[in-house]
């Protein structure tokens, strides 16, 4: 979904371009331009649209609100790389098997 598509979804939920423009306090002509991809919704209006119409800020302005990617788990370092552990104690019942 493009930012223009996301804004179109806001307009659909608002009941059209005019009600959307009225609620976010911009002109209908501005909404029309943004929906045609001629410019973007101003950053100060993004959170308002998200709150009013439930369309994610990530969709409305991905350049300002990129999707958060969870951090990668820490990599294993050293001898223990997360594999099975084996006891080398001769007196151990676990000798040669995973502990």
| Inside any domain, residue 23 | yes
pLDDT of 21 reads 95
CATH number of the domain enclosing 56: 1.10.260
The span from the CA of 53 to the CA of 12, in Å, is 9
Does pTM surpass 0.75?
Answer: no
DSSP 65: S
Asked whether the beta carbons of 7 and 52 are under 8 A apart, the reply is no
A 10 A CB-CB count for 96 gives 8
pLDDT of 15 reads 96
Total number of domains constituting the chain: 1
pLDDT of 70 reads 73
pLDDT of 87 reads 58
Residue 53: domain span:
3-60
Buried b (16+ CB within 10 A) or exposed e, 68-88: eeeeeeeeeeeeeeeeeeeee
| Inside any domain, residue 33 | yes
Chunked in runs of 10, what are the mean pLDDT values of the chain (99 residues)? 94 96 96 93 94 94 85 63 59 55
The span from the CA of 43 to the CA of 79, in Å, is 49
């Amino acid at each position: 979904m493009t930012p223009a598509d996301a804004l179109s979804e806001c307009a659909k939920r608002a009941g059209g371009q005019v009600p959307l423009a009225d609620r976010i306090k911009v002109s209908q002509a501005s909404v029309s331009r943004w929906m045609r991809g001629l410019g973007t919704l101003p950053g100060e209006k993004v959170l308002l649209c998200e709150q009013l119409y439930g369309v994610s800020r990530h969709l409305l302005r991905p350049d300002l609100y990129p999707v958060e990617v969870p951090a990668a788990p820490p990599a294993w370092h050293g001898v223990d790389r997360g594999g099975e552990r084996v006891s080398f104690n001769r007196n151990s019942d676990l000798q040669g098997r995973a502990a």
